[in-house]
Chain A
């Protein structure tokens, strides 16, 4: 059974429909990239799936049990305050709060999980550093570690590499690839068409002409060619 299944889903803000009639089916282990022009509703789709925005029509459902284990979410980096006083450890641990009913202290298990994820993403040495002094790539890995504390199944990422330098971007893609190979489903909004077609198993293109299918098939579509021509976010072929 599909992990997420959407039928004729309409999304948007404040009753303004941005994209409509989205149909897609995401299975466990898929690596789905959401692409489209600016303002086509990519982030809106993510926020709707996460329950941050109400859907404006149609339907989508999660596989049973998915919501219990939780969804890992990596928001856009622009959403954060620069001067927020928080250590790396505090932020990663906060991912362990997901779906817990009530909890005054973190359990031993939470702390071990957070430590594992920090080691895995090579930020364990930074655990007592303030978030605000880290580089963009390090901050993204902290937020990814937090997301991993809240899920074992599904990661949802909103432009994880925007604003990162080339090296950090590559590292980010490597990490995501490994996570995907370990069985975690990935849904990612991206502007970076090269990498999208290289790493993703499926593409969801939203805009005037909706496309959902394999990454191979997407490269043959007029939507892909149009996005490449516009080239604004395509970092050279």
Chain B
């Protein structure tokens, strides 16, 4: 049993997939802290549905790599949604709902009507819930994933203090000379990159789980921004690792959904610990 398990793990495609999974989880959980605290979680959700629509268009157009279409369009939608301004809060909520349901409907119709693949419902299912197997991740996807992750990580590290400042108090940051508009656009781009990156793995319906769960778990216990950020990334990576191993060991488990469930369990555990700590104090 042990030998066959290691045999599976040591296959090239498994290692490639594992690297992609861990990088994706790391990036999503890092930015998740800011997105959750800025009450942007729902934007991620809407955005991933929009990305699904674009992916359907790419599938219909028979593009060999859908990324070149999904990435730019998702970035544009993210900028529109995120930089619409807080003045139109209710309108913003509604516009996100409109964009996300329209994109889902358009995507579904397009794939059914014009889909050329022999297994349309299978394609749709994997776009919504992530790939069933990890076999189809090639070296191109590995390099794209590494490139995007490095971009996200570099942005995060370089702008960490500014990100804290605008997350905690955007007005103060703006009043004291921080270019909040530029940062906002940058955040929108990063969010779009994250979603495109994570969508391959967990599918567009489950993307926001990867972004918000680790941050929420970390916030149960840690009370400083740095603490939450570090804890969130560790939790995100560990959950992704465990979920991935489970999915490798038990072939009937879909990778994405399993990772999300592991995240859910860890959120439960952290909530319990926080509750006990509160009682003890």
A51 touches B169 (CB 8 A): no
Q: Do A150 and B171 contact each other (CB < 8 Å), given the known contacts A85-B222, A87-B225?
A: no
Residues of chain A in range 2-35 having any CB-CB distance to chain B below 8 Å: 14
Cα distance, A194 to B225, chains bound together (Å)? 39
Q: Do A90 and B175 contact each other (CB < 8 Å), given the known contacts A75-B169, A83-B219, A97-B162?
A: no
Cα distance, A99 to B176, chains bound together (Å)? 6
B164 touches A90 (CB 8 A): yes
B37 touches A75 (CB 8 A): no
Cα distance, A14 to B226, chains bound together (Å)? 37
Complex interface bits, B165-186 against A, C-beta within 8 A gives 1, otherwise 0: 1001101111111100000000
Name A96's closest neighbour in chain B (CB-CB): B161
Cα distance, A83 to B222, chains bound together (Å)? 11
B177 touches A79 (CB 8 A): no
Which B residues are CB-close (under 8 A) to A72?
176
A146 within 8 Å of B by Cβ? yes
A103 within 8 Å of B by Cβ? yes
Question: How many of A's residues come within 8 Å of B, CB to CB?
Answer: 39
Q: Do A75 and B176 contact each other (CB < 8 Å), given the known contacts A87-B223, A94-B164?
A: no
B184 CB to nearest chain A CB (Å): 14
Which A residues are CB-close (under 8 A) to B172?
73, 75, 94-95, 146-147
Question: How many of B's residues come within 8 Å of A, CB to CB?
Answer: 27
A98 within 8 Å of B by Cβ? yes
A201 within 8 Å of B by Cβ? no
B158 within 8 Å of A by Cβ? yes
Which B residues are CB-close (under 8 A) to A167?
none
Point out the residue from A52, A70, A81, A93 that lies within 8 Å of B177, measured CB to CB. A70
Residues of chain A in range 83-141 having any CB-CB distance to chain B below 8 Å: 83-87, 90-91, 93-95, 97-99, 103-106, 128, 130, 132-133
Name B159's closest neighbour in chain A (CB-CB): A104
B238 within 8 Å of A by Cβ? no
B68 CB to nearest chain A CB (Å): 31
A50 within 8 Å of B by Cβ? yes
Residues in chain B within 8 A of chain A (CB atoms): 37, 87, 157-158, 160-162, 164-165, 168-169, 171-178, 219, 222-228
Ordered nearest first, which 5 A-B pairs have the shortest CB separation? Answer: A130-B223, A98-B176, A50-B175, A87-B224, A99-B177
